[in-house]
Structure 1
């Protein structure tokens, strides 16, 4: 049986889909460090992780059996995608499955912060009745500034308008404004306009340090700040200063530059203990509904890639899906994107009397991917001939 290793307490649905597909699945609740992961990957073809486990080039170099990685989350910056692709390890994530959960917690936090619910709650638990309207506001009529107008930012934009917020957004890429949302030409313009600023950028290295003392100073006095994207994009010491000074009236943070690997591990941050600051343990997308959807989505992608060669929505190899007819014998060939590969594949098959029933080729950057269905069993000599070609990355015989 092929082996799968699933880490970081994935939803049972992730396990059941792979087990039903014939995999011997091992699960672990926490993340693994580099050396632990290298040891654990011996003989493993499929790896499933979330955000805490880092799949480095060193890990990949020591995992020759690994064929596919599933990131059961949105982000993939914890994986060396280029090195994985160069070694023929396809990677899949869940770009849509938890967007609703993140949007809902963002809306909840906006309301909680603008109504100063955290301070009222603490006072009540301390036995103090502090009924007051001072500093508490409706979000209706206020302006929400969304930085990063992707899957989450756009859905948040629509729902926020339904609550009576005006929406402005900033994104480095051209994005279609939904509803009555307005695009800001610069980040500075957004910060000068918004009463609530929320970050929903991706994990690319260029976003590191995106938001610091300068950006907090440019925010409107008394504005609210949220980060549910990546911990390394914000200078939290600068955020602390902005909250303590009162320039930022409240903040909600779900992600941190360094996060504990396992549930129950100690956590510390310069933001602890501040008034009207909500800290959550990277749970923006952690609802039962989202985790079930992610488990289903990613495990199905891994299963389909392993069984049929489908790379649809892979984040690091060319995307294609060739419909498979009964009785065919399939080769999935990942190769360097150089001229003449398709001709060489077909010539090799022809030399050995193999008739092609279906074929699809696509390329992306430095890689090409061709899936070929043959009408008869493919001789091992053909497989060896293609594998030994200089442009070969990985050849899999699927049926």
Structure 2
């Protein structure tokens, strides 16, 4: 029997025809995506679900999807899919991470022109029968300094276009290596320097805990007078209220926003301000981009349903079904190792080295590499997956090297991951026990045996009496329960580490209390995807 796919959002007829041509039994009904009850009533019939943003794939929908094997999102954003619930259900979630890149970059450039020359206001004025030529005095882009926050896939395209406009480009990106910056032709700077030097600033980073309000009220106060801000990336990157105050005060000359903290945006502090250009999240809204992502998702879903090939999956490795049975725990371990060093490393990563020891060398190490690199990159981009992570690392000039060796030491097999920055190396090793559970077995050359949980706390200190007590007492007195506690040290009186598995993430004020004891060199909360 042919696999059945439901297309519940607007997808191009060409994409729908791809399903038919590949022998898929496809139902094309864009009305279903907006009808929750109808979706619930029919989803159990289908092996695949192709969507855009209108269809909401909740845990309730997944519970009713008794035959569903794959969800394909035409586009990059998957906020409308409950990925943890899909993973538990065994449903693969795919997206098309690069189909919108050029379109979004071009929209950012268009918005920059619009705010530089006050085009929307001049257009409205002229339509109204006025001829206010002297009112709309703009500025040139030529020779101006453009500050790019985020030099990844879309940011690098904007940089290329800006060079064509004869702009001087500077960039801030914690993962941008000097080699990659040189290749892009940009000057790599810290955020404060970018804020103080830029005539225009454009943002191209995902929304994470580290990037939320990256242009905060405090940082907006550091901006060069007369700067213009462009945000076509994600809402929440800029404090809209603080920016509105700066524009009203005349310290910021203008802004162009395609995204907002709350969408659909019917109100915003930026609305109604002179020389503020706003659009309703149109970054990906071109005929070419919509066609590209639709065709890609149809091909990817067909490949999986007919051959088992997995491409651009957000919640599973690109491996065969046979490999997945054996590799599953090792894929999780590789991801955890990457997540540890990714969360621990704030400076640009220049290289990632992955050592495979023992029988793990016989597995699909390319997939394990992808899982490890994805773990590293997710610290700054939660949308990354095992397919896009190596591409993203390559774009940022990160060298990825793999070493294999026969069994050495007490473990039958283990993986050791080392990241290199300009100033240091950081390493961690792990293995999979006979119960199928990944474990950390070494950090910074110090042997440990640590169970991996969702919420963890890592500390370093000099090996001296009283540290363990201070750590336990501070957490306990503030209601933070410890599920597991692992210690390690080199030699007596030298470097010591602790890795705690906690029931919940400790509040910031508790972390500050640990810092205030003066006993710890590092206190770092960590989170891992353990489902």
Structure 1 pair 147/38, CA: closer, same or farther in 2 (3 Å)?
farther
Instruction: Give distance in 1, aligned partners of 2:287 and 2:77.
Output: 19
**Which residue in the other structure is 2:21 paired with?**
20
Identify the residue that residue 184 of structure 2 maps to in structure 1. Answer: 179
Alignment check: 8 A CA contact 2:107 2:232 kept:
no
TM-score (structure 1 length as normaliser): 0.75
Q: 2:329 is paired with a residue of what secondary structure?
A: coil
- Structure number with higher relative contact order (C-alpha < 8 Å, ≥ 6 residues apart): 1
TM-superposed deviation, 1:216: 2.2
Unaligned runs of 5+ in 1: 261-265, 323-329, 340-358, 370-389, 392-399
C-alpha spacing 1:3/1:198, structure 2 compared with 1 (3 Å): same
Name the SS of the counterpart of 2:115 in structure 1: helix
Shift of 1:155: 0.9
Deviation sequence 1:218-271 (CA, Å, 0-9, x none): 2212111111111233332233222222222221111233334xxxxx944343
Please show how residues 161-200 of structure 1 align to structure 2 within 5 Å. Answer: 161-175=163-177, 176-177=180-181, 178-185=183-190, 187-200=191-204
Kept in 2: contact 1:146–1:153 (CA 8 A): yes
CA gap 1:212/1:94 in 2 versus in 1, 3 angstroms? same
Aligned to 1:326: none
Contact in 1 for aligned 2:270/2:276 (Cα 8 Å): yes
Secondary structure at the aligned position of 1:337 is classed as helix
Q: Give the CA deviation at 1:48.
A: 2.2
What pairs up with 1:118-129 in 2 under 5 angstroms?
Answer: 118-129=120-131
| 1:106 pairs with 2:108 | yes
CA contact (8 A) 1:12 1:295 kept: no
Q: Structure 2 regions of 5+ residues with no counterpart?
A: 331-362, 375-385, 387-434, 437-531
State the shift of 1:204 in Å.
4.1
In the other structure, the counterpart of 2:76 is 74
Per the TM alignment, residue 132 of structure 1 is displaced from its structure 2 partner at its CA by 2.6
Instruction: Tell me the residue number matched to 2:472.
Output: none
For the pair 1:305 / 2:304, whether they are aligned, the reply is yes
Partner of 1:338: 329
For residue 376 of structure 1, what is the aligned residue in structure 2? Answer: none
CA distance in 1, matches of 2:328, 2:41: 32
Q: Tell me the TM-score normalized by structure 2.
A: 0.57
CA distance in 2, matches of 1:159, 1:47: 36
Q: Equivalent residue of 1:127, what SS?
A: coil
Distance in 1 separating the partners of 2:13 and 2:291: 8
- Say what the alpha-carbon RMSD is for the aligned residues: 3.1
Q: Is the CA contact 2:40–2:61 (under 8 Å) kept in the aligned structure 1?
A: yes
1:293 matched to 2:292? The reply is: yes
Change (3 A) 1:103 1:4: same
Contact preservation (8 Å) 1:18, 1:25: no
- Matched residue SS, 1:197: strand
